[in-house]
A and B are shown apart, each in its own frame.
Chain A
Amino acid sequence: MLMATVSCKINGKDQTLEVDPQMPLLWAIRDVARLKGTKYGCGVAQCGACVLHLNGEAVRSCVTRVTRAEGQKVVTIEGLSENNDHPLQVAWQEIDVPQCGYCHSGQIMSAAVLLRENPNPTDQDIDRAMGGNICRCGTYPRIRKAIHRAAEMLRSGGKRNGTDL
């Protein structure tokens, strides 16, 4: 198997990854780019722990080949905001959403796309956008509350310093 060179922008920085072209983006981000915030949960597009942004779209990196990132922009939880202050992060902190916390990189990255597309989501919109993210600790009631709270912050002119919001 030949190694491939994948050049992309990760969290705003140009990077070149020397990888097996078959490798899922998840493992390239975790073990090659060494950004551990993106999590492995199932490997088969079932749980959403691995969600990151590829050109602004939420993708499940466990089933996305690393080569798809060639020349593209990748944003992970580490790059969502500079100071942990994206409205979703602020709302998550205000409401103390995480328990174990393992699923929440993926939860927040999924929610970030929802809010960008729909700054005033209904409960149904949240169900649709967040249905792919499992939380075994059962923080769902708080996830819902925090998304509404972040939307409210955005509408009232809250911070918009997310990299791709």
Chain B
Amino acid sequence: MTVLSIANLKIHFDTIDGTAKVLDDVCLSVNEAEVVGLVGETGCGKSVTAKTILGSLPMPPGKVPDGKILFFCDDLLKLNKHDRHRVMSEKMSYIPQDPMTSLNPVFTVGEQMGDLIRWQGRRRVGPLEFLGLRRGRHNAVAKAVKLLDRVEIPAPKEIVRRYPIELSGGMRQRVLIAMALIGRPSLLIADEPTTALDVTIQKGVLTLIEEKVEEEELSVLYITHNLGVARRLCNRVYVMYGGAIAETAKTKDLLRDPIHPYTCGLISSIPKLTGDEFKGIDGRIPDYIDPPTGCRFHPRCPQLMPICGQEKPELIEVKDDHLVACHLFSRGGGR
């Protein structure tokens, strides 16, 4: 069953210099109990995609000129504010990218987690509960300790009494991961959750997510720029370039047999421990205010053809479950 399906999503931002056309016809879907990776270099629009799904993109300056986001049967972009918040807090969860600014500095970790545990997804909270005059607080903190223990934070009983500024970036990141695992979401959107963590802890977190996927049929949209992590965790991967999906396939197929020139470059740019020469992709991510015409990758593409600067390639299926947006493979294209 499809949990999330995004079709032709466009996102623009109004800036002083003009309209930044960041997302350009993003199509993406996540099935039940599936882990889907979203990879791409920095600034390609991964976080913007995540925030749009979650409805946390500030609008204005952001706007959605076109597109559809289906979550189960709801078109999220058409729901009103309250319904959307309800759907989101009941069925979605989120690990934000920046652990330094994502925790409220004037409340202890235990207080923030405790309130989430007790009240997550509720619309109203009674005044007595609000003032902490009802029981339940204690249990909530105990549960917070348990959750923190699962993300391998040392001395979780201490941590719940600490303020975020007393924690390191990696610890905050794990607090945020623990927070995201409160409740039973259907979809977890994780925005580079392990970037600030060292390899052993990263492994623990990935295992934890895998367990959740198996036990609770959780679906995950996992944003990363680390193809190694994607290989380990994801069933399918979307490669994003300049605000559009360049290629998508099963992780194995994509890594073994990439066909979009950008994906090929991305894979060959992974530094290898064997000390082979490091090959990158020349050039930089496009300017969104005045993006290249046609395929946004064409100024950097090693296999440039005349048509690339004129027409935007469509995302088409070239093999089983392997879609690519490149004129090399489109009808009447090169091959």
**Co-complex (A, B):** no
Q: Chain A residues in contact with chain B, CB under 8 A?
A: none
